[in-house]
Amino acid sequence: MSENKSNTNQEVKEIDLLALLNDSIHSLKRLWWVVILCVIAGGLVSFFSVNLRFSPKYVAEGSVEVTAEGGSVSGNRSTAKQMSLIFPYILSSSSLSDIIASEIGTTRVPGSISTSYIDGTNVLSFKVTSGNAEQAYEVLKSVIKNYPDAARYVVGQVQFEVLYDSGVPVDSGKTSAVRGSLRNGLLLGLIIGLAIVLLRAFTIRTVRSENELRALVNVPFLGNLPICQKKERRSNKHEEINILFDANRESYTEAMRLIRTRIDRKLDGKKVLMVTSSVAGEGKSTVAANLAVSMALKGKSVILVDCDLRNPSTGKIFNITGSYPGLAAVLDGSVKLNDALVEVVKDGKPTGLRILPGADKQTNSIEILGSEAMHRVIDELRGYADIIILDTPPSAVLVDAMMMTKHVDGVAYVVMSDYARRRYIVDGIEELTSIEANLLGCILNGSGAGSGGYGYYGRYGHYGRYGYYGYGHYSSYYGKTKSKKKK
């Protein structure tokens, strides 16, 4: 039993690792420009930082052969090694440093001096580093000249024969310093960029496929809608996807037919369908509009109601210009329902589809959509058409959609591929099921590709002003509604 449990845990870990790897690769595809920007920024910061703070360093080098008085070959080697070891002490504790400073006309030795012993020989190497090229070379010559005399009390009488003298150095070391710093800056930028990609993979978990959606929520699946790039539709005056006016969207049209068939079967003769999503920008209005078109093309009379009073967009999808009273005017009684409906025509002929626009933006849509007047309007609409489709605001961040569920016969839930976080999808669906809404299923929008080509979806950012970032307020409001029901 424990062995089976261990195998199961191991399998889950492998799946999680594969999922994380897949998310990381996908995040890299989405955020490659962030990585490049981080690399460029890291390189520029390092480059300018080194140029502004760099202090030139000139290095003078020389090598000498050490010969001890009366010494053998091995004795010369031993003496050279010993002089290498005692040099730091001789320089600091004897008069050698004073002699060098006096010879070059300074109060102290400028820069630093180091020596090294070439193993197995009697050769010493000296290196002098200073911010002044001439001084570096003068210090080198003074060290080679005076060190034998300063060290004679320790190693005895020795002589130096110069084997190599670099002369006055010309390289300040700036080129190598800039190259090294630039390399480190580029590497640091790459690390930061990849860290951002991994952070996104860890924190922003989205749904990109039918299998992921099915695994996330226990809700029927209505179908996939392929992505349609906006750049392919530049010659079309209707910038949003609209299969009524754009006959070239065969795959999208066929996918919509399949979804329409499944929804028809699930509604089973009932009339009112609500279309919603988790958050703004998932294309629910476009899905609702094209679903209405597909049903109208099948021969049904359809009314599409724009209930998204905060950000009405149905008119744009059908290129409806001019001023129309819309839903708000019908609800307040200033306009009759039949007078507010707008007939959609193609080539001068009715299509069987009518639209009730959203009219001007409303900030008090919770009161409007949840009113008794709304209930009366929907009841009246049932007698006007075979199918009524309500395009409502997102359900995971706004309470508007929740207020509409009591008026409808079924709900279609739109999920944009690789867009909303998984917790928003779960929250939105749980809110609908908690009030026993008839959730017909989910539609995966833009599956198999990125989510960047759906016309004006980005405009839904206006929700931020009215509650997109007020998720806590929404939960509080709905929590009060539940508590009242319990009482």
Paired with 161 in beta bridges are: 65
User: Where, residue-wise, is CATH 3.30.70.1130 in the chain?
Assistant: 58-165
- Residue range 212-231: average pLDDT? 83
Please list, residue by residue across 321-332, b when 16 or more beta carbons sit within 10 angstroms of its beta carbon and e when fewer do: eeebbbbbbbbe
Give the pLDDT score at 238.
Answer: 43
Say if residues 355 and 240 touch (Cβ distance below 8 Å): no
- Residue range 97-105: average pLDDT? 89
CA distance between the termini of the chain:
47
Is pLDDT above 50 for 385? yes
Give the pLDDT score at 121.
Answer: 92
Amino acid making up residue 284: K
Q: What pLDDT digit, counting tens, does each position of 144-166 carry?
A: 999 999 898 888 899 999 999 98
Say if residues 237 and 210 touch (Cβ distance below 8 Å): no
Please tell me what DSSP assigns to residue 72: -
The Cα–Cα gap between 429 and 313 comes to 23
Which residue from 255, 256, 338 is spatially nearest to 289, judged by alpha carbons? 256
Confidence of residue 396 (pLDDT cuts 50, 70, 90): low
Say if residues 312 and 284 touch (Cβ distance below 8 Å): no
Confidence of residue 309 (pLDDT cuts 50, 70, 90): confident
Higher-scoring residue by pLDDT: 130, 478: 130
Q: What is the CATH number of domain 210-486?
A: 3.40.50.300
> Phi/psi zone of residue 140: left (φ > 0), alpha (ψ -120 to 50 degrees), beta?
alpha
User: Where, residue-wise, is CATH 3.40.50.300 in the chain?
Assistant: 210-486
Is pLDDT above 80 for 231? no
On average, the pLDDT of the chain sits at 80
- Residue range 310-314: average pLDDT? 79
Is pLDDT above 90 for 413? yes
- Residue range 439-455: average pLDDT? 67
Confidence of residue 230 (pLDDT cuts 50, 70, 90): low
Give the pLDDT score at 234.
Answer: 44
Is pLDDT above 80 for 482? no
Q: Which two tokens stand for residue 381?
A: 């609409």
Give the pLDDT score at 146.
Answer: 92
Say if residues 178 and 186 touch (Cβ distance below 8 Å): no
The Cα–Cα gap between 120 and 80 comes to 10
Higher-scoring residue by pLDDT: 436, 387: 387
Q: What pLDDT digit, counting tens, does each position of 340-372 carry?
A: 899 998 888 888 999 998 765 554 555 677 778
- Residue range 172-190: average pLDDT? 86
Confidence of residue 77 (pLDDT cuts 50, 70, 90): very high
Say if residues 377 and 337 touch (Cβ distance below 8 Å): yes
pTM: 0.60
Please tell me what DSSP assigns to residue 466: I
Helices (H), 232-283: 250-267
Give the pLDDT score at 210.
Answer: 86
Is pLDDT above 50 for 14? no
Q: What is the dihedral of CA 419, 423, 428, 430, to 10 degrees?
A: 150
State the Rg of the chain over Cα.
40
- Residue range 428-453: average pLDDT? 78
Is pLDDT above 50 for 403? yes
Is pLDDT above 50 for 455? no
Give the pLDDT score at 123.
Answer: 94
Counting Cα atoms < 13 Å in the Cβ hemisphere of 321 gives 2
Higher-scoring residue by pLDDT: 171, 288: 288
Say if residues 178 and 72 touch (Cβ distance below 8 Å): no
The Cα–Cα gap between 165 and 137 comes to 9
Q: Which fold has domain 58-165?
A: Alpha-Beta Plaits (3.30.70)
> How many C-beta atoms lie closer than 10 Å to residue 105's C-beta?
8
- State which H helix or E strand residue 454 sits in: none
The Cα–Cα gap between 94 and 294 comes to 99
- Residue range 54-68: average pLDDT? 90
Is pLDDT above 80 for 318? yes
Give the pLDDT score at 465.
Answer: 33
Give the pLDDT score at 295.
Answer: 94
- State which H helix or E strand residue 192 sits in: helix 174-203
Is pLDDT above 80 for 474? no
Please tell me what DSSP assigns to residue 128: E
**% of the chain at pLDDT higher than 70:** 82
Please list, residue by residue across 186-213, b when 16 or more beta carbons sit within 10 angstroms of its beta carbon and e when fewer do: bebbbebbbebbeebbeeeebbbebebb
- Residue range 444-464: average pLDDT? 48
Give the pLDDT score at 367.
Answer: 66
Give the pLDDT score at 387.
Answer: 95
Confidence of residue 125 (pLDDT cuts 50, 70, 90): very high
Helices (H), 54-132: 73-93, 96-104
Q: What is the residue-wise DSSP string for 277-337?
A: ESSTTS-HHHHHHHHHHHHHHTT--EEEEE--TTS--HHHHTT--S---HHHHHHTTSS-H
Give the pLDDT score at 47.
Answer: 86
**% of the chain at pLDDT higher than 90:** 34
